[in-house]
Every structure is written in structure tokens, then in C-alpha cells.
Amino acid sequence: MATETLPTVIQPRQPKGGFANEPFTDFKAHENARKMKAALELVAGQLGREYDLVIGGHRYKTKGKIRSVNPSRPAQVVGVHQKAEAGQAPQAMEAALGAYKHWSRTPVETRAALLLHAAAIIRERKFEFCAWLTYEVGKNWAEADADVGETIDFLEYYAREALRLAKAKPSIQYPGERNELLYIPLGVGAVIPPWNFPFAIMAGMTAASIVAGNTVILKPSSDSPTIAARFVEVLEEAGMPGGVVNFCPGSGATFGNAIVEHPRTRFIAFTGSKAVGLEIHERAAKTQPGQIWIKRTILEMGGKDSILVCADADLDAAVDGVVASAFGFSGQKCSACSRAIVEAPLYDVFLERLRERVTKLTVGDAAANPNMGPVVNKAAHESMLRYIEIGSKAGRLIAGGHAVETEAGGYFVEPTVFADVAPDAVIAQEEIFGPVLAVIKVRSFEEGLKVANNTEYGLTGAIYSSDREKLDRARHEFHVGNLYLNRKCTGAMVGAHPFGGFNMSGTDSKAGGPDYMLLFTQAKSVAERL
């Protein structure tokens, strides 16, 4: 599709009604379970397809390939993708710059309509996209459904936010002037999403970029390029002009670095590890020849998240919250609880209840919908086993502790819990990103709060207590970007829980909140004398 013309399919329109979160699917209902099984069968017939680079609306093949595999069954290829190299970076940049000339001047109503149309397509095919997530990254049905629902939420929410921002006005009108405040796009951005929310985070960063009028070079994770390719197909079906989103899977060390360092790159939106995020930040900070702006980095870099369980907590609610937060999607969430900090009077009974709950969790092929599927790849599997070995020297093993062997050779690890862990132990400080939980005993609420704040991260946290004074103190002193009182520390909802953290957790981007669109725009004040 040429970048010079806009397709007629994008009809400017206002969203219907206010924003509301997409409802979760009840898979206990027979009809929904039937639809999910049918979607898994449908998608199984499409596995192994080859996908091209998409640059400027044209498709290209490369000599190098990326093979995405099912972590439940590593011999099963989900998708074969072209591998963009550093040499493709100038081509992708030129395509994005060419599209930017027209897209940046496209009415915001038209850009928002693209997101709304894409949301409608995904909603209609929700079970199909759930199946792709199950095969490509090993999400069970509920986790996949939450990922797809959040994708729809981001598209719907950012469309409305872009329309709201377009109506912004200065706080006063100066006498004798007409004053305007315009939020204009930045330019070409690099979007580098993670594999753990390969639909929602990838689509959210991309959607916010383009609805603001920017164009994008999208470099998905090599563990999850297929769902990104399917999303680009949705955008094309919804009427996206060529060059607005350029789909370029590739190595971070080659293509990724080339895009980050390119002098015409205006911003980088990244979600992933602290190490990679800091490297991107450093590379982006170095001014290149011909560069005339300071590159903006929008970084979400992980966490070491704690749930503080006070002696006056509702025990059952606390145990349920810790288990859900620690082992949902096998702990592969930057928001996951990897530390339970428990006051001494409740400690022993909490451990017993926790052990009982964890030993009942099922582990297996994600398509069969167990409580826990695999970890994402062989390297993650090996990393988990190394941390379990380290944990065996740092605490008392009360559940799990082993790999789970299957005939298909999937990357499965038991949900693992270590008790009596010191607050400064390796497994209490480093982001593990897997199903390994450290339980730390503290003598008081004050000590617990101190331990909760003793890492370099500050993403999510939770506290269980029936004491209003403790909850109020946590509100002010528990130093995280997303704090939850008497509920789990995962499951941020678009609109209700703007998401992003402090310290080494990133730039506190607050995705899914009213401030997020500001990161993809620049404010221009215009004053006209009357």
C-alpha cells in the first residue's frame, strides 16, 4: 500500500460511549471452552507459516530467519520470520519518515478510528488470538484471555485519549490574544516490546505511538514475533497506510541497536530487562552526527515485587493473593510477587497454607489449560534451575524445586517456594522472572516496610492488613509505582491502574493512564494577537 494516500476504509468517527474494560471470559462456561478448543484447532492448522518483513507496506524476505517455537512443545514451530539486520535500518527509517509526512497531518479522528476498527477486529476473533498466545508463549486460557482483553482496552483507551488531548486548551486566554495548546507528534519511534505480554504491551506501545501521529519501526521479541505479525495484519485490515508501522523482527544487538542509534529516531518505547533498558537509554543519550533533538526513552524495566502480609491480615485472602501473583503465567510478569514478607505472628500458619495451595497447582502443556504452563524458552528454563539451586542454599524449600519432564520436552518448572530467606539474599534481590518465591519473616510492620523497600526496583507491591493506619502508611511509604491494598500485585487494569514503576523499574511510564499519551507527543503553544 502506498504511503502517499490514505485508505478510504478509515472513516473518522467518535468512540461509542465512555471507556470500559473488556470483560474476562469465563472458561468454566461450556460454550466458551468449546470456542477456545475450536480456536486452538484452527490455529494449529496455521502453525509454521512464514512471515515477511513489512517495510513501507511492502514485504521482504531475508537470508537469516527467526523461528518461534511452542515452549510447551519446542519441536513445534509457531512461525518462521525474516531476520532484519542492521542494513535494513536505513530502509525502515526512510519508509517511516515518508509515511510520517502524511500520517502526522492526518486528522486525529481518522487515526483514532484506525485503533477502534482494529479493536473491533480483535474482539470478534478473541479466541483465535488467545490460541496464538497459548502456542507462542505458553499462556493458559485465562492468561491469554487477559492479554487479549488488555490489547482491546489499550486500543479503545488510547483512541479516546488522543481525541481528548486534541481538545486541550491553555488554562487561561490572555487578553487580546487567541491562545492554543497543541500536542503534536514527535516523529519516527522504535517500539521494542517484550515476549511476556506479546500482544497487549506490543500493541499498546504501538497504538499510542501511531494514534498520536507518529510512525513506528516495530521490533518484536524473537520469542514472540508471530503475534506481532498477526497484529500488523489486523492494522492493515483496519486500513493502516503503508509505512505507519514497519514490522522488523531482528536481533537487538544488530538491528535493534541500529534503530536506537539512528539520528532520525525520535523516541524509543521499550519494555524488558533492566540491563537492556539501561543499554538502550545509554545508546539513545549519545548524540549522533546530524541529530537535532534529544531522543526520548520510555522504559519499563522490571521489578522485584513484594507482598507484605501483616499479622492482622485476612489469611486466606493473603495466601490467595500471593499464589496468584507469584505463579500466574509461571511468574513471568514484571509485576509478579517474588517476595512474600510476613509478620512473625502469622508466619508459620501462612507457610502451611501457602504450601498446601502451591502443591495443588497443575503444570503442563498450556493448550490443556493447567494452572501453569512452561517458561518461555530453554535459557529461561536453565536460569530458573540455577536460581532454585541458589535458593536451596539461601532458604528452606517448602514446595517445588524441580523441572517437570514431559515427552514433548517442554520447558516446565514446578512452582517453587523457599522460606526463611534473608532480605539481602540473591533470590530476594535479583529479578528471577519465573515461578520462584522467597518468603521473608519480619518482626513488625515497620521492619516489613523497610524490607519491601530494600531493592533497586519499585514497580508493584501489595499489603494485606485490616489496620487502616498501616494501609495509610503504606500508601505513603511503600515506594512503588503501583501499590495494591488487600489485593494481589498483578493484573493492572487499563484506565484504573496506570502502570509503571520507580527507580530501576523504569521511567514510570504509566501505560493505560491519562499521562501516557503525553510521552508520544510534544506540546506546542500558539498565541495569535487579535
Spell out a b/e string for 480-493, using b for 16 or more CB atoms within 10 Å of the CB, else e. Answer: bbbbbbebbbbbbe
CA distance 241 to 497: 32
In the block, residue with C-alpha cell 494516500: 5
CA distance 381 to 432: 11
Give catalytic residues, as residue numbers.
Answer: 300, 334
Tell the CATH superfamily of the 30-301+509-529 domain.
Answer: Aldehyde Dehydrogenase; Chain A, domain 1 (3.40.605.10)
pLDDT digits (tens, 9 = 90+) for 195-214: 999 999 999 999 999 999 99
CA distance 485 to 165: 31
Query: Same topology for domains 30-301+509-529 and 305-494, yes or no?
Result: no
CA distance 2 to 60: 15
Q: Which CATH architecture has domain 305-494?
A: 3-Layer(aba) Sandwich (3.40)
DSSP-derived secondary structure for 48-91: TEEE-EEETTEEE--SSEEEEEETTEEEEEEEEEE-B-GGGHHH
- Let me know: does 303 contact 335? Beta carbons within 8 Å: yes
Find all residues with CB under 8 Å of 201, minimum gap 6, and list them: 193, 194, 271, 511
CA distance 410 to 353: 29
Q: Are strands 305-309 and 460-464 parallel, antiparallel or unpaired?
A: parallel
Please give the single-letter amino acid code of residue 331.
Answer: G
pLDDT digits (tens, 9 = 90+) for 102-154: 999 999 999 999 999 999 999 999 999 999 999 999 999 999 999 999 999 99
pLDDT digits (tens, 9 = 90+) for 257-282: 999 999 999 999 999 999 999 999 99
Domain range list for the chain: 30-301+509-529, 305-494
CA distance 131 to 37: 9
CA distance 178 to 162: 23
pLDDT digits (tens, 9 = 90+) for 31-72: 999 999 999 999 999 999 999 999 999 999 999 999 999 999
pLDDT reported for residue 17: 85
* Residues in the chain with pLDDT values less than 70: 1-13
CA distance 278 to 301: 8
DSSP-derived secondary structure for 246-315: EE--B-IIIIIHHHHH-TTEEEEEEES-HHHHHHHHHHHHSPPTT--SPPEEEEE----EEEEE-TTS-H
pLDDT reported for residue 15: 84
pLDDT reported for residue 16: 82
